[in-house]
Structure 1
């Protein structure tokens, strides 16, 4: 019994660290998982990545496989092999992409299909599936988020990044209730600056909570579909809260308003048209690290 799945990374529009609401969008970088089930009763994993941190991603993969088997399987054992092109500890949500890919690959290996549960159907079905032949897609997101919280990854997956990776496009979520409150699509080219040293910011949750009034205003912009304005405000607010420089954001202005620190950093993302982003690239290439061109994607995680 073997299964395969792939899932995209995600960039940030609104960080959920202040008011519990988040927004993210899928980007054209992927994690791919292959799961093979057996009767051993044990779980093993292998991760292929050029980045440091493969051990924690390996532990995450094992926990995702284990959690999926516990929820909809029959206590099988299995192995999981993960390949990821998403930089680890960068703020581009490699954990979300990997968790989604592993859970979907396990569903595939179990011979199950993805059910009709849509992005708007967020009722709690954990532990009580009417049919073991299918799993609602929204439950895949919940399984993936819970598994990352139970693993030893530095920054676990959040519901906004998990759903953006899973469904594609833009998602806006209530991360406290694990509900999707808005979905949309974006036709953006994306520029990413990856600093030479990749390490997500140490989160001072109390410091981030002080930004609740700003996060509420960002959410209002998002609800009006002013996504790039929301990104800019998020960038200035949370780069400060996470103690990252705001200068990369200033350098992108006024070329594009759609620029922010992504996730808990340290990467920065800018969105717009390639011609505009080329000018941003000229600034960012003067910084230590690397600049990557990618794009927002409409499609999310898939069994392949």
Structure 2
């Protein structure tokens, strides 16, 4: 059970944690190698260690969210690793739409894992914090590959290229803080619904896109990735085509349905995408 030194009063809690969304450069479904870039949509968390189980409140874009499965998985993963017995009370506020391919689960797992470890006075290298969060996300069933690329981009920012099977960060580089326009269609696509999809047939094409990203041509890579996966998942790719027409770089984020465009003239994309769904504007980070 918790020692008295870590029994905290919720009203006195000062420590907060945060993590961010990301967009896809290479989706790892086909090969296990992937890449993502951080964007400035955030998740903030507050935690109190308790002797109870998991409780608290989760809000996503101002709406109450009732699914605590990822929170429970993070707690269980930390308990198992360090041989501890504790519960948590959480308050989570997220700006990131759920089920759209914008790394909401990676961001929550990162923010929660880091903050709980801080409250437990456990110090780990940042990359190990990310790996713990990935393990929790897999346990919760919110990722097929472990989403290590998404988790790294969420945690560290910049461009992160990874081997998701080996949990290795292959390359990270800073990126210019360019405007990013997000297209959020009404539908959602949950990762659990894709378990029977044979993404391996895309491997030869995705491997070539990943090589481009490793060489520094990540803008070309993300366009190719979007066209490959968008076609395979039978999305309407007209928004990407419209963005390319005005010389933006555009792709599909994760499993979709969210799409994104990177451009120094965001107003052109906002206007072109209004009829396809909700449009948000943020920046790379």
Give the TM-score, by structure 2 length.
0.88
Out of 95, 99, 105, which is 1:95 matched to? 105
Out of 156, 160, 164, which is 1:167 matched to? 156
Summarize the alignment of residues 255-270 of structure 1 with structure 2, pairs less than 5 Å apart: 255-256=246-247, 258-270=249-261
Q: Distance in 1 between matches of 2:201 and 2:272?
A: 31
Q: Distance in 1 between matches of 2:283 and 2:186?
A: 22
In the superposition, relative to structure 1, how do residues 157 and 49 fare at CA in structure 2: closer, same or farther (>3 Å)?
A: farther
Q: Deviations over 1:3-61 (max 9, x none)?
A: 420000111000001111100011110111111112x25232421124889233x2211
Summarize the alignment of residues 123-272 of structure 1 with structure 2, pairs less than 5 Å apart: 134-153=123-142, 158-187=147-176, 188-200=178-190, 202-203=193-194, 206-256=197-247, 258-272=249-263
Give the TM-score, by structure 1 length.
0.83
Alignment correspondent of 1:10: 22
Summarize the alignment of residues 80-119 of structure 1 with structure 2, pairs less than 5 Å apart: 80-112=90-122
Out of 53, 58, 67, which is 1:42 matched to? 53
> Which runs of 5 or more structure 1 residues have no equivalent in the other structure?
113-133, 298-304
Q: Distance in 1 between matches of 2:30 and 2:195?
A: 11
Whether 1:30 aligns to 2:42 is: yes
Q: Distance in 2 between matches of 1:179 and 1:154?
A: 17
Summarize the alignment of residues 50-61 of structure 1 with structure 2, pairs less than 5 Å apart: 50=61, 54-56=65-67, 58-61=68-71
Q: Distance in 2 between matches of 1:241 and 1:204?
A: 14
Out of 64, 78, 99, which is 1:68 matched to? 78
**Number of equivalent positions:** 271
Whether 1:292 aligns to 2:283 is: no
> Which runs of 5 or more structure 2 residues have no equivalent in the other structure?
1-7
Asked whether the 8 Å contact 1:89–1:200 carries over to 2, the reply is: yes
Give how far 1:76 is off: 2.0
| Larger helix proportion of the pair | 2
In the superposition, relative to structure 1, how do residues 30 and 179 fare at CA in structure 2: closer, same or farther (>3 Å)?
A: same
RMSD of aligned Cα (Å): 2.1
- 70-79 vs 196-205, which moves further: 196-205
In the superposition, relative to structure 1, how do residues 155 and 14 fare at CA in structure 2: closer, same or farther (>3 Å)?
A: same
